[in-house]
Structures are given as structure tokens and as C-alpha cells.
């Protein structure tokens, strides 16, 4: 099942969705077994911002019958400490590392991209222009012109693959995807989470500390298929499809819709080794299918 994605050799087409797997924490629990049976063919980091962030007030999670609403709000140690402390550890993983970044202005994104361009440990950069959980999170990713302007500024700053993570909370995801391709994106990933909300049945108040959050899991699978399909019709660059993948069949469906790679997210919270099982199931299904 080996694949080449933006010039990066991968053992199979399953990776993780940003922010859904922490290999540094997992190593504390699973020790050396983690590297021996690493579930993903590439590792995508949780979003890194220029400055450290505390994240959103709790509660940050609400479980749904078909998934999860998260309102994490990008807690992270900031670029400087990520580069000094985390990236060297992530580079020990047996797979290529893609660093997911988000900036609150074009200048911030440019600074993040420049810093990562200098680091050999980063095989690629994923631009998060689709976080539903910070006020300005969607500004650059929901509008084709804004996204084109961002990429025109940052594309010349690195020769590394630049993957743009798209939001499903846009009026016309295919138009946004096309703008990204035209401005030099190497690949696209989608979908990020759909904005959602839950109420505390006892207090009648919004449950999440930040009122709304992002819905993921099986509940969004059909939305992901439709959006990956729409984007695949519009662009020629590779696509990482994600949204509610629990089984090999779900991964195969995303590939049928046009995905080159498939990311596992929410399912890894239930079973951190889920991607290994899904990859084995996909291998069997691909052997039988025309893809
Ligand atoms: O940290 C988050 O709250 C978060 C991010 Br950055 C994102 O891109 N998508 C999401 O559902 N949550």
C-alpha cells in the first residue's frame, strides 16, 4: 500500500488528523511499542502558533451519539518551545513529520513557515486555516480571496510541501480549494470540524466553556465524503481526506471520493491503535477494488 505524497514516501495511505494523537504522551504509556507499531504512515502535529496559548476555558469536550464536539482552542507552547523541545522528539518517530501551524495574520503565518523551512525534521507544513474554535480561525480559510492572498505571501518562503487544511464551514469549499491550488498549495486536507453546540441538561446553559465547538466523528462522515468529492472535481493537487473514519470501508469511500491519503482522527481517542486496524482492513479492500 506504499504511496508517494508530495514527494514523501509513505508505507501506507493512513495518517492522523492534526491534534488527535500525541506521540510524546503515547510514548509514556506504550514505551518502545509505540515506535515498533506506529499506527500512522506520517505524523501531523497539533497546531502550533507563534505565541504560547492556554486554550479555551473548560469544559472542552462533549460526547455525541455519533462523535465529539471539541472546543480545545489551540493550547500549545508556542513556536520557539515547539522547535526546541518537541520537534527533535517527534523527529525520532519512524515516520515523516508534518507540522501544522496557524497564524492570526499573514505575517504570523509567514514567520511560522520561515522558521519551519529551516528545520530538516519537518517533511511538510500544514496550514490550519480552518479552526472553528478561535474567533479569527476561519477568516483566512473560508474566503477564496483571503486564502489566495495568504498563499501568495507564504508560498515563496519554503520549498517544502504546503498542505492547506480546509474548513467545511465555508459557502463553497471547491472555490476555496481552487484558490489554494492556484496560489501554489501542494495539497489540501479536509474536513476540519463542523461548528456545533450542546446544552448542559441540568443548568440549561451552553455546555462548552467557549459556547460552540467543532463536531467530528462518524456524524460528519457523509459531509466529508461530499466535500472531498466536490474538491476532487475542482483541483488536481493531492487530497488528504478525513471525517469519521472508523473502518477500512470508510477510508476506501474517501478514496473513491478522491482522497489520496486518509486521516484518522476521533477514532484514535477511542483506540490509539485504530489506524493499524483500519490500514489492514483497507489493504484487503483495495486488493479487491479497482482503485
Ligand atoms: O484546538 C482546537 O480547538 C481545534 C483546532 Br486548532 C482545529 O483545527 N479543529 C478543531 O476542531 N479544534
Reply yes or no on whether the pLDDT at 136 is more than 70.
no
Q: Hey, which of 19, 135, 215 would you mutate to test ligand 1's pocket, going by the most ligand atoms within 8 Å of its Cβ?
A: 19
Region of 2 (left: φ > 0; alpha: ψ -120 to 50; beta: rest) is beta
Reply yes or no on whether the pLDDT at 213 is more than 90.
yes
Residue range 150-161: mean pLDDT, rounded: 97
Residue range 136-164: mean pLDDT, rounded: 91
**Which is nearest to 228 in space by CA: 195, 196, 251, 248?**
251
Catalytic residues: 131
Residue nearest to atom 5 of ligand 1 (CA): 131
Closest ligand 1 atom to 71 CA: 3
Asked if residue 128 has its Cβ within 6 Å of ligand 1, the reply is yes
Largest Cα–Cα separation, the chain? 53
Least confident of 116-125, 135-144, 227-236: 135-144
User: Whole-number mean pLDDT of the chain?
Assistant: 95
Residue range 35-58: mean pLDDT, rounded: 96
CA of 11 to the centre of ligand 1 (A): 27
Cis peptide before 191 (omega within 30 of 0): yes
pLDDT above 70 as % of the chain = 98
pLDDT band for position 29 (cuts 50, 70, 90): confident
Asked if residue 100 has its Cβ within 6 Å of ligand 1, the reply is no
What radius of gyration do the chain's Cα atoms show? 18
Closest ligand 1 atom to 56 CA: 3
Asked if residue 169 has its Cβ within 6 Å of ligand 1, the reply is no
- Encode pLDDT of 166-206 as tens digits: 999 888 999 999 999 999 999 999 999 999 999 999 999 99
Q: What pLDDT score was predicted for residue 13? A: 97
- Encode pLDDT of 53-101 as tens digits: 999 999 999 999 999 999 999 999 999 999 999 999 999 999 999 999 9
Asked if residue 70 has its Cβ within 6 Å of ligand 1, the reply is yes
Least confident of 129-138, 194-203, 273-282: 129-138
Least confident of 12-16, 104-108, 135-139, 242-246: 135-139
CA of 213 to the centre of ligand 1 (A): 8
Q: What pLDDT score was predicted for residue 137? A: 66
Asked if residue 13 has its Cβ within 6 Å of ligand 1, the reply is no
Q: Are 233 and 174 in contact (CB under 8 A)?
A: yes
Asked if residue 47 has its Cβ within 6 Å of ligand 1, the reply is yes
Residue range 263-268: mean pLDDT, rounded: 98
Q: Are 75 and 55 in contact (CB under 8 A)?
A: yes
- State the DSSP H helix or E strand holding residue 224, giving kind and residue range, or none if neither: helix 221-234
CA of 214 to the centre of ligand 1 (A): 7
Q: Are 176 and 147 in contact (CB under 8 A)?
A: yes
Asked if residue 189 has its Cβ within 6 Å of ligand 1, the reply is no
Amino acid at each position: 500500500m506504499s504511496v508517494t505524497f508530495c514527494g514523501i514516501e509513505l508505507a501506507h495511505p493512513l495518517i492522523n488528523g492534526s491534534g488527535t494523537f500525541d506521540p510524546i504522551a503515547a510514548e509514556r504509556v506504550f514505551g518502545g511499542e509505540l515506535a515498533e507499531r506506529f499506527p500512522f504512515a506520517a505524523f501531523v502535529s497539533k497546531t502550533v502558533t507563534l505565541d504560547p496559548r492556554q486554550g479555551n476555558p473548560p469544559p472542552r469536550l462533549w460526547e455525541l451519539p455519533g462523535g465529539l464536539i471539541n472546543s480545545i482552542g489551540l493550547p500549545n507552547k508556542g513556536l520557539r518551545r515547539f522547535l526546541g523541545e518537541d520537534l527533535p522528539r517527534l523527529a525520532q518517530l519512524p515516520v515523516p513529520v508534518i507540522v501544522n501551524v496557524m497564524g492570526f495574520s499573514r505575517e504570523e503565518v509567514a514567520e511560522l513557515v520561515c522558521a519551519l523551512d529551516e528545520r530538516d525534521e519537518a517533511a511538510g507544513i500544514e496550514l490550519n486555516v480552518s479552526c472553528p474554535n478561535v474567533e479569527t480561525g476561519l477568516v483566512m480559510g473560508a474566503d477564496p480571496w483571503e486564502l489566495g492572498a495568504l498563499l501568495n505571501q507564504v508560498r515563496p518562503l519554503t520549498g517544502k510541501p504546503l498542505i492547506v487544511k480546509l474548513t467545511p464551514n465555508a459557502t463553497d469549499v471547491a472555490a476555496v480549494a481552487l484558490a489554494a491550488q492556484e496560489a501554489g498549495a501542494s495539497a489540501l486536507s479536509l474536513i476540519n470540524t463542523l461548528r456545533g453546540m450542546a446544552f448542559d441538561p441540568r443548568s440549561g446553559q451552553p455546555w462548552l466553556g467557549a459556547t460552540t465547538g467543532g463536531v467530528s466523528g462518524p456524524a460528519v462522515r457523509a459531509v466529508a465524503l461530499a466535500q472531498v468529492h466536490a474538491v476532487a472535481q475542482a483541483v488536481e493537487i493531492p487530497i488528504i481526506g478525513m471525517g469519521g473514519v472508523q473502518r477500512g470501508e470508510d477510508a476506501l469511500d474517501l478514496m473513491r471520493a478522491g482522497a489520496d491519503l486518509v486521516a484518522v482522527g476521533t477514532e484514535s481517542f477511542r483506540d490509539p491503535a485504530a489506524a493499524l486496524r483500519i490500514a489492514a482492513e483497507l489493504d484487503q479492500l483495495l486488493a479487491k477494488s479497482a482503485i
